[in-house]
């Protein structure tokens, strides 16, 4: 069934298109003179000027892995971030922790952890779902590479860019 939308009746001066043209020129000339006379900046000269000081608190940047205060990896290879990732940008290959290790109770750790930054949509779901707070989104927006292979960050690279995060890690809690 078709829906018929009634057009409003225009006044005789609205049919001339002159009022619309004049208001558009007024906006354009207003910007022109504001820039010309008051030296108002409109554009950012990107490599020299950056947004770093003006990023909002809720900004979501690139995901990275973090270690705890003692340099141990926080990830338990639960694969929740891999399962919840909408574009399937995260790939985790878990491995068992040897029985003779002090932390064998954890059962597994990531042998390989990769994030394809070309596929990542920076949604933040991986950060929200992580039970150990091992992955978080940095305030970084300039992620570049010269090839597709450079844009796939492996476990080593993710820990390099992630750094250290303080706080309780259930994985290393001896009481659990």
For residues 98 and 120, which has the higher predicted lDDT (pLDDT)?
120
Sequence-ordered list of residues with C-beta below 8 angstroms from that of 152, at least 6 positions apart, any chain: 114, 115, 116, 117, 118
Closest to 65 measured CA to CA, from 75, 77, 78: 75
Predicted pLDDT of residue 56? 83
- Tens of pLDDT, residue by residue over 138-154, are 888 888 889 999 999 99
Closest to 92 measured CA to CA, from 114, 109, 117: 114
Kindly report whether the global pTM for this prediction surpasses the value 0.75.
Answer: no
- Tens of pLDDT, residue by residue over 4-58, are 999 888 888 778 888 888 999 999 998 888 888 876 776 778 888 888 777 888 8
Domain spans of the chain, in order of start: 14-43, 54-172
What is the mean predicted confidence (pLDDT) over 91-111?
Answer: 84
Predicted pLDDT of residue 173? 60
CA 139 to chain centre: 8
What is the mean predicted confidence (pLDDT) over 108-135?
Answer: 92
CATH number for 54-172 (one of 3.30.360.10, 3.40.50.1820, 3.30.70.3270, 3.40.980.10): it is 3.30.70.3270
The DSSP string of 82-107 is: HHH-TT--EEEEEEEPPTTSTTGGG-
Predicted pLDDT of residue 168? 64
């Amino acid at each position: 069934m078709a829906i018929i939308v009634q057009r409003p009746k225009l006044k005789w001066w609205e049919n001339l298109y002159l009022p619309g043209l004049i208001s558009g020129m007024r906006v354009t000339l207003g910007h022109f003179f504001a820039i010309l006379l008051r030296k108002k900046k409109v554009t950012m000269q990107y490599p020299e000027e950056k947004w770093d000081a003006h990023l909002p608190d809720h900004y979501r940047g690139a995901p990275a892995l973090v270690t705890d205060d003692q340099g141990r990896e926080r990830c338990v290879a639960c694969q929740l971030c891999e399962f919840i990732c909408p574009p399937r940008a995260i790939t985790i290959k878990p491995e068992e922790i040897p029985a003779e290790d002090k932390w064998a109770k954890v059962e597994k750790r990531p042998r390989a952890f990769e994030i394809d930054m070309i596929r990542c949509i920076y949604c933040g779901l991986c950060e929200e779902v992580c039970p150990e707070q091992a992955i978080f989104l940095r305030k970084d927006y300039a992620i570049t590479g010269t090839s597709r292979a450079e844009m796939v960050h492996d476990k080593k690279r993710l820990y390099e860019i992630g750094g250290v995060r303080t706080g309780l890690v259930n994985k290393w809690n001896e009481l659990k």
